[in-house]
Amino acid sequence: MKMFLFLLLLGIVGPHCTSARTHSLKYFYTASSGVPNFPEFVVVGLVDEVEMVHYDSNTKRAEPKQDWMSNITDEVPDYWEGETQIALSNQQFYKVGIETLKQRFNQTGG
Ligand SMILES: *[C@@H]1O[C@H](CO)[C@@H](O)[C@H](O)[C@H]1NC(C)=O
Ligand SMILES: *[C@@H]1O[C@H](CO)[C@@H](O)[C@H](O)[C@H]1NC(C)=O
């Protein structure tokens, strides 16, 4: 079965001037169509290659994957609601992209 997998590396933050160490921030957006047991849209956010945020089209919730991310609501109470809205909006955007690709490549299945 052919499948469309879409990967977009949204951003990598380079060296931080205040620290000798280099850290990274990466977000992976994955959109797919018709892949068994795999959500149509997944967002994974990583700091230094450790997953700290996760969203998928099954749960439709942006959720913390690390304690220190859970605590962000101490400072920004509606952080997860905001992240969820952004992810939902991107999910729609990527769904349209997948449909467009399917049309352009005459892909009738997933
Ligand atoms: C997060 O908050 C909990 C409860 O307030 C606290 O026990 C914990 O130490 C905090 N963790 C971090 C990494 O700040
Ligand atoms: C898709 O089908 C159309 C009509 O048959 C054809 O003109 C076009 O070249 C096809 N596109 C691809 C990417 O195969």
pLDDT tens digit at each of 110 positions of the chain: 333 333 333 334 444 456 689 999 999 999 999 999 999 999 999 999 999 999 999 999 999 999 999 999 999 999 999 999 999 999 999 999 999 999 999 998 88
Ligand 1 close to Cβ of residue 71 (< 6 A): yes
pLDDT at position 13: 42
Report which of 35, 13, 103, 51 is spatially closest to residue 43, judged by C-alpha positions.
Answer: 51
Ligand 2 mean position, distance from CA 17 (Å): 51
From the alpha carbon of 66, which atom of ligand 1 is closest? 13
pTM recorded for the entire structure: 0.76
Ligand 1 close to Cβ of residue 85 (< 6 A): no
Report which of 72, 37, 32 is spatially closest to residue 52, judged by C-alpha positions.
Answer: 72
Alpha-carbon gap, residue 84 to 15, rounded angstroms? 28
Domains of the chain, first to last? 23-104 (3.30.500.10)
